[in-house]
């Protein structure tokens, strides 16, 4: 995993662009700033945006190359972000400590995905928000982004099962015209979800 992403992030180009994910931005803008955790943050587009509007931002990723690019990008934008590299399931995260958690285009095998989502929920404070966007199974065969392996794509049922202990705020399968660098471009099927951890 680490080697694959280090290779992808090795160029100077931002694979998924420098603007924040549209759904992430839209949802974050409705929340009072606080402490934010971003899994699989990559080159830092979402972390830098969040920090620029006052969030205390912690980013995690597998790739050292991604961290280097993200920290440089943050410096260019005069913001500070905290960034850790490693296996998400092994990096220690304090329970009930974040006001929001973002999971933007993280595609994993079922067992790992379920464990990650459980960890994300545990890291949230009661009343905290999860913001999620990823490719739905109908994305298979499309060239606009995402893995070409049905086992790594999401169904609505996956979200219902993984986040059943949250209060669902927004939940939909949508068809989008993605324009996020060269990595996500064109018509795509995605699932968008926000949920609130119960008090």
Residue 9 has pLDDT above 60, yes or no: no
pLDDT digits (tens, 9 = 90+) for 24-73: 999 999 999 999 999 999 999 999 999 999 999 999 999 999 999 999 99
Helix (H, G, I), strand (E, B) or coil at 96: coil
Res 4 pLDDT > 80: no
pLDDT digits (tens, 9 = 90+) for 137-179: 999 999 999 999 999 999 999 999 999 999 999 999 999 999 9
Q: Residue 167 CB: number of other CB atoms within 10 A? A: 13
The whole model's pTM is what?
Answer: 0.94
**Overall size of the chain counted in residues:** 199
CB atoms near residue 119 (< 10 Å): 17
The domains of the chain are located at 2-197
CB 69 within 8 A of CB 44: yes
CA distance 199 to 50: 24
Mean pLDDT of 106-121: 96
pLDDT of residue 6: 47
Distances 61 to 58, 69, 157, 186 between C-alpha atoms, Å: 10, 12, 26, 25
The hierarchical CATH code for the domain 2-197 is: 3.40.50.150
């Amino acid at each position: 995993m680490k080697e694959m992403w280090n290779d992808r992030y090795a160029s100077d180009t931002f694979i998924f662009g420098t603007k924040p994910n549209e759904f992430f931005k839209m949802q974050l803008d409705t929340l009072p700033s606080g402490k934010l955790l971003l899994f699989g943050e990559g080159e830092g587009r979402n972390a830098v945006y969040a920090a620029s509007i006052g969030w205390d931002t912690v980013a995690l990723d597998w790739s050292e190359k991604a961290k280097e690019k993200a920290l440089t990008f943050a410096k260019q934008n005069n913001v500070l972000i905290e960034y850790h590299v490693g296996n998400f399931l092994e990096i220690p995260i304090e329970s009930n400590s974040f006001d929001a958690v973002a999971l933007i285009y993280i595609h994993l095998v079922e067992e790992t995905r379920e464990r990650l989502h459980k960890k994300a929920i545990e890291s949230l404070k009661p009343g905290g928000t999860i913001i999620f966007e990823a490719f739905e199974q109908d994305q298979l065969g499309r060239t606009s982004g995402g893995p070409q392996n049905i086992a790594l794509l999401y169904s609505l049922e996956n979200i219902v099962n993984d986040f059943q202990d949250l209060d669902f705020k927004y939940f939909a399968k949508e068809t989008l015209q993605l324009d996020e660098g060269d990595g996500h471009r064109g018509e795509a099927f995605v699932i968008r979800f926000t949920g609130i951890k119960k008090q």
